[in-house]
Amino acid sequence: MTNELTAPGPHVQQGLLPTPFFERLNAFSKTKNWEDWAGFLSPSEFQFVEQEYFAVRNAATLFDISPMCKYRISGPDALRVVNRLVTRDVSKIRVGRVGYAMWCDEEGMVIDDGTIFRLSEDDFLLLCQERMYSWLHDTAWGFDAAITDESEALCGLSLQGPTSYSILDAAGLSSLKDLKPFDLRNPEPDLWVSRTGYTGDLGYEFLTKPEHALALWDRLWEAGRLWGLIPIGTAALDLVRLEAGFIAPGQDFQLVHHAERLGRGRTPFELGFENLVHFDKGHFNGRRALLKHRASGPRKHLVRLDIEGKDPAEDAFVYTGRGKKVGHVTSAAWSPTAKRNIALAELDAPYGGSIRQGLWVEIDVEKEGVWKRREAKVTVVDGPFFKNRRARVTPPGPY
Amino acid sequence: MTSAQTSFDVIIIGAGHNGLTAGAYLAKAGKRVCIVEQSDVIGGMAQSRENAAGIMAPRFAHLAHNFNPAVIKELGLESKVSLKTVPTIYLSPDGRHVDVTDETISFTDGTPHPDAEAFAQLRARLSRFAGLLSPLALRAPPNLSDGLSLTGLGELASLAKLGINLRRLGASDMREFLRIVLSNTYDLILDDLPDGPLAGGFAAESIWGAWSGPRSPGTVFSLMYRYGVGTSAQIPQGGMASLVTALADCAQHNGADIRTQHRAQSVMVENDSVTGVTFADGSVLRAKTVISSLAPLPTMHLVGVEHFDTEAVRRVRYVRGKGVTAKINLTTNGLVDIPGLDQRRREGRLVIAPSAEACEKAFNAAKFGKIPDSPVLEVYSPQVTEESGSTNDHHLLSINAQYIPYHLDGGWGDDARARLQERVIDLLSTYAPSLRSQLAHAETLTPLDIEQETGAPGGHWHHCELNTDQLLTVRPVNGMAHYAYGVDGFYLCGASSHPGGDVTGLPGRNSAMRLIKEGLPS
């Protein structure tokens, strides 16, 4: 007797899944170095991380963002639901705009962050890392809004780098010339383009249906022939996002739904996002707890550090001049563009807040089997390490 | 007191016994209180209403199992509420009924019962354990949300006291308490007694009003809860109506305004604080404190779920509370005789639960949406105190029928209601053969009817199951166990708040005491 369970072969798909772009990615991959991103095959790099990194800053790159979770929130109460979900006031995000947002649990601890695409007055698309389907349903309970998981109904590409607009132009999308940062447009059927990204550079993100995936890739690839376009993996992306000062959930802070130990969650204040918490918009999840946190002050500060020397301070502890341990580095790298040794670090308040001077990191460096411990002075800095006007100018320059 | 007044310190939604109790405490503390009630009569589940035969009769609850003496004392109701013990008889199909009212358990014909000693010992043990837990019922549950700190020590005091008292029981009793507290009455009782009417009646005491059978875990706890103020059922002199009247009089005497036929439509909120209540007719009453004696979800809907965190809404949505008790009110011409019972016992509380096994079987039917062949019954004959326009010799038979599912297979219609009524009358007729010939009027309230009249979801006595997963710091739900209900100035005081259901007065009292202690928003 044969049934679903006894039939040969897996009855559920096992292992990491290919995205709609996999055929193209695989053809370019020299290292075949794939990693697990939300259950999908995602490239760590195609050949050389350095080459991919410099392409982001000097030419243009394609990165497959299909594994992002994509949720549609639509209906008469869609705005109320999204506003109930996130800490910022979504009514200020106009139709055709994209906004970065965080959302919290009832204790004011960040569940995840993501981008909200306002497709129409009552139609939103939420892009984030974590699965949120049941959370969104719970948030929308009692409201007239439909939640649809479009994670696999849509796929996406991120085109990033100074020549990315030139590629759009060559690809016949010059109508997007006046697209400002965080603008969103639907230039063709089944194609959404936003001027957003995770690199701090000029760039665009595309969403389309899986059946159009390869055509979109080929169209951009063809247009990018003269503009230095190459695909990149997560390693290069991690470096450019750190330069741009963007935080990585799960790395720079713990997502509260994954943290099992008490006190491991973080508030938006502790991550440096006071400006994204809008108490005057009415109730939203975690509002009462966040009011208390605002009154009692942050327990931690996630800060950007400029570190003496050139050895990346990965996993290093941060000390005061007297040797008191006050935190640790969460992300670190040598920034080839800023020519600085940069890091993100979580410090115990008030360090990183009112006390920003006299801090050190202890870096353990291994060179050919020999470990050395270096102490390096750090400076807490405001703003991104990499900032370039070209990322914001509209219309974008023809680099 | 003027009905033109539109501004109060506190508005209480629902004039059930808890709403009235909270109102009486707050009014006594000098607050300007208005209690609003959707129905035309006060009392909620404890209300009395004129039935079709023109007799004032308790509509739902007909006895006070557990009304707390602290409420009577603190409100100064000693002269108005005098509770007397009602004899409890466990009926047997063979006519060998058992009187369990006093320490001496015997057959109603006076012959000694072979299991009297075992029963008395077990009940005394449970009662002693219940005494340990009862102090916890008299204050808000401990609040440990700020962790174990020096300032939180006060919160721990009640738990610490329970621990100390447990130790004082001695090693063997303490071990026994911990062994049985989370277990089920079926096992506990049948360890000591053979199954039969005595064991069945005993088991039934643990399941009244609850979605659980004697074999359900936590039923031992429910029994201890019910024995918190003693093991016998009580009736106020003058009936249930006199208790409700005494509470209402106390509130009104202290200046509270009670407005019936005032259905609260919504609670108004500004800047995350309540500002008042709107009514169906468009009128508005203002107050900075609003207390709801409704169940958790209807209470949430009054303000709107958008004012609550997603987790809170989720917890409240999934509160367990399936109504499973119907009420059948019979009016008879003359007192219906039950062979084997003398006059005193006939007017007592009669339990029809032939065995613990039969109880559990009846629950099985309810689990599958069916009316059981033999429901478990609690029968009481309230005294006729007031009868309008009739000189007939009318008597009442007030029946709680257990294991009548709210979600009946096929839904509740007139046919199903009639079927239930017939089944209960048939069952009772086997003990009272003359019932049908004396029957003047019958009225059946299904769990759905009870819900529609009182607003209690599922028609559930306790608004939500009274079991160990919904107790103390998690009653009704984690994070909202201390009467405060999300929005500033919004509170809960009904059966779903600590310590729980039955006609005890305690949730209303504790909620009001917390407000008085912490001060009202001004």
SS (H, E, C) A175-191: HHHHCCCCEEEEEECCE
C-alpha span between A370 and B21 (Å, rounded): 77
Q: Which residues of B touch A138 (CB under 8 A)?
A: 310, 313-314
Query: Which residue in B304, B305, B307 is closest to A141 by CB distance?
Result: B305
Q: Which of these, B515, B467, B461, lies nearest to B17 by C-alpha position?
A: B461
Residues linked to residue B58 through DSSP beta bridges, in sequence order? B48
Tell me the three-class secondary structure of B309-330, residue by residue.
CHHHHHHHHCCCCCCCEEEEEE
Q: Is the pLDDT of residue A8 over 70?
A: no
Chain B closest-CA separation from residue A286 CA (Å): 6
C-alpha span between B81 and B73 (Å, rounded): 10
Q: Which residues of B touch A285 (CB under 8 A)?
A: 309-311
* Chain B residues within 8 angstroms (CB to CB) of chain A: 272, 301, 304-314, 317, 479, 486
Chain pair A-B, CB pairs under 8 angstroms: 41
C-alpha span between A357 and A388 (Å, rounded): 27
For chain A, the distance separating the N- and C-terminal CA atoms, rounded to the nearest angstrom, is 65
C-alpha span between B74 and B81 (Å, rounded): 12
Q: Tell me what pLDDT residue A10 has.
A: 63
Question: What DSSP designation does B294 have?
Answer: S
Q: Is the pLDDT of residue A235 over 70?
A: yes
Q: What are phi and psi of B194, to 5 degrees?
A: -75, 150
Q: Which residues of B touch A84 (CB under 8 A)?
A: 306, 310
Q: Tell me what pLDDT residue B397 has.
A: 96
Measured from the Cβ of residue B277, the count of other Cβ atoms closer than 10 Å reads 25
Kindly determine whether residue A106 and residue B310, on different chains, have CB atoms separated by under 8 Å. yes
Kindly determine whether residue B479 and residue A106, on different chains, have CB atoms separated by under 8 Å. yes
C-alpha span between A26 and B371 (Å, rounded): 64
Question: What DSSP designation does A246 have?
Answer: -
C-alpha span between A214 and A203 (Å, rounded): 20
- In this structure, the dihedral spanned by the alpha carbons of residues B131, B137, B140 and B142, taken in order and rounded to 10 degrees, is 40
DSSP helix, strand, coil percent of chain A (3-state; round to 5)? 25, 35, 45
C-alpha span between B26 and A315 (Å, rounded): 58
Long-range contacts of A248-253 (CB under 8 A, 24+ apart): A248/A331, A249/A110, A249/A112, A249/A113, A249/A129, A249/A130, A250/A129, A251/A330, A251/A331, A252/A302, A252/A330, A252/A331, A252/A344, A252/A346, A253/A110, A253/A302, A253/A330, A253/A346
Per-residue pLDDT of chain B (522 residues), as tens digits, is 445 789 999 999 999 999 999 999 999 999 999 999 999 999 999 999 998 888 999 999 999 878 899 999 999 999 999 999 999 999 999 999 999 998 889 999 999 999 999 999 999 999 999 988 888 888 888 776 666 566 667 777 777 888 888 888 888 889 999 999 999 999 999 999 999 999 999 999 999 999 999 999 999 999 998 888 788 889 998 899 999 999 999 999 999 999 999 999 999 999 999 999 999 999 999 999 999 999 999 999 999 999 999 999 999 999 999 899 999 999 999 999 999 999 999 999 999 999 999 999 999 999 999 999 999 999 999 988 766 655 678 999 999 999 999 999 999 999 999 999 999 999 999 999 999 999 999 999 999 999 999 999 999 999 999 888 898 888 999 989 889 999 999 999 999 999 988 888 999 999 999 999 988 877
Kindly determine whether residue B306 and residue A142, on different chains, have CB atoms separated by under 8 Å. yes
Chain A closest-CA separation from residue B472 CA (Å): 21
Q: Are A135 and A111 in contact (CB under 8 A)?
A: yes
Q: Is the pLDDT of residue A48 over 60?
A: yes
Q: What count of residues does chain A have?
A: 399
Q: What is the mean pLDDT of residues A41-64?
A: 98
Question: What DSSP designation does A363 have?
Answer: E
Q: What count of residues does chain B have?
A: 522
Q: Is the peptide bond before A395 cis (omega within 30 degrees of 0)?
A: yes
Q: Is the pLDDT of residue A234 over 80?
A: yes
Where b means 16+ CB within 10 Å and e means fewer, A235-272 reads bbbbbbbbbbbbbbbeebbbbbbeeeeeeebbbbbbbb
Kindly determine whether residue B272 and residue A283, on different chains, have CB atoms separated by under 8 Å. yes
Kindly determine whether residue A138 and residue B312, on different chains, have CB atoms separated by under 8 Å. no
Query: Which residue in A106, A142, A287 is closest to B311 by CB distance?
Result: A106
Q: Are B327 and B399 in contact (CB under 8 A)?
A: yes
Collapse the DSSP code of A150 into the 3-class scheme (helix H, G, I; strand E, B; otherwise coil) and give the result: coil
Q: What are phi and psi of B285, to 5 degrees?
A: -115, 140
Q: Tell me what pLDDT residue B473 has.
A: 85
Kindly determine whether residue B309 and residue A135, on different chains, have CB atoms separated by under 8 Å. no
Cβ neighbours of residue A376 closer than 8 Å, sequence gap 6 or more: A307, A308, A309, A311, A313, A341, A360, A361, A363
Name the band, by pLDDT with cuts 50, 70 and 90, for residue A272: very high
Q: Are B384 and B334 in contact (CB under 8 A)?
A: no
DSSP B95-116: S--EE-SSSS-EETTSPBPTTH
Residues linked to residue A329 through DSSP beta bridges, in sequence order? A345
Q: Are B248 and B230 in contact (CB under 8 A)?
A: no
Residue range A185-228, pLDDT digits in tens: 999 999 999 999 999 999 999 999 999 999 999 999 999 999 99
Cα-based distances in Å from B59 to A291, B44, B46, B181, B422: 47, 9, 7, 33, 19
Q: Is the peptide bond before B298 cis (omega within 30 degrees of 0)?
A: no
Kindly determine whether residue A138 and residue B306, on different chains, have CB atoms separated by under 8 Å. no
Q: Are B186 and B356 in contact (CB under 8 A)?
A: yes
Kindly determine whether residue A285 and residue B310, on different chains, have CB atoms separated by under 8 Å. yes
Kindly determine whether residue B308 and residue A84, on different chains, have CB atoms separated by under 8 Å. no
List the Cα angle B462/B298/A280 in 5-degree steps: 135
The position carrying tokens 């590409």 is A157
Q: Is the pLDDT of residue A51 over 90?
A: yes
Chain B closest-CA separation from residue A346 CA (Å): 24
* Range from A14-18, A145-149, B62-66, B91-95 carrying the lowest mean pLDDT: B62-66
Q: How far is CA A23 from the centre of its chain?
A: 24
User: Percent of chain A scored above 90 by pLDDT?
Assistant: 95
Collapse the DSSP code of A304 into the 3-class scheme (helix H, G, I; strand E, B; otherwise coil) and give the result: strand
Kindly determine whether residue B479 and residue A80, on different chains, have CB atoms separated by under 8 Å. no
Kindly determine whether residue B310 and residue A135, on different chains, have CB atoms separated by under 8 Å. yes
Q: Tell me what pLDDT residue B371 has.
A: 97
C-alpha span between A151 and A66 (Å, rounded): 8
Q: What is the mean pLDDT of residues A137-164?
A: 97
Query: Which residue in B272, B307, B312 is closest to A106 by CB distance?
Result: B312
Chain A closest-CA separation from residue B281 CA (Å): 24
DSSP B61-93: ---BSS--HHHHHHTT-TTT--EEEPPEEE--T
Q: In what order do the strands lie in the sheet with A60-64?
A: A184-188, A191-194, A203-208, A155-160, A60-64, A229-231
The position carrying tokens 């230039």 is A187
Q: What are phi and psi of B263, to 5 degrees?
A: -90, 110
Q: Which residues of B touch A141 (CB under 8 A)?
A: 305, 310, 313-314, 317
What's the whole-number average pLDDT of chain A? Answer: 95
Q: Are A142 and B317 in contact (CB under 8 A)?
A: no
Amino acid at residue number A236: A
Best to test chain B binding among A77, A82, A283 (most B CBs inside 10 Å): A283
Cα-based distances in Å from B67 to B58, B160, B231: 16, 26, 12
pTM of the model: 0.92
Chain A closest-CA separation from residue B11 CA (Å): 23
Kindly determine whether residue A138 and residue B310, on different chains, have CB atoms separated by under 8 Å. yes
Residue range A315-339, pLDDT digits in tens: 999 999 999 999 999 999 999 999 9
* Chain A residues within 8 angstroms (CB to CB) of chain B: 80, 84, 105-106, 135, 138-139, 141-143, 282-283, 285-288
- H or E stretch at A290: helix A287-296
Pairing of strands B33-36, B7-13: parallel
Q: Are B488 and B474 in contact (CB under 8 A)?
A: no
Q: Are B462 and B66 in contact (CB under 8 A)?
A: no
- H or E stretch at B27: helix B17-28
Cβ neighbours of residue B368 closer than 8 Å, sequence gap 6 or more: B409
Kindly determine whether residue A80 and residue B306, on different chains, have CB atoms separated by under 8 Å. yes
Long-range contacts of B448-452 (CB under 8 A, 24+ apart): B448/B406, B448/B412, B449/B412, B449/B417, B450/B45, B450/B60, B450/B323, B450/B325, B450/B326, B450/B327, B451/B323, B451/B406
The position carrying tokens 């960040």 is A110
Query: Which residue in A105, A141, A286 is closest to B313 by CB distance?
Result: A141
Tell me the three-class secondary structure of A23-66, residue by residue.
HHHHHHCCCCEEEEECCEEEEEECCCHHHHHHHHHHCEEEEECC
Query: Which residue in A142, A282, A286 is closest to B305 by CB distance?
Result: A142
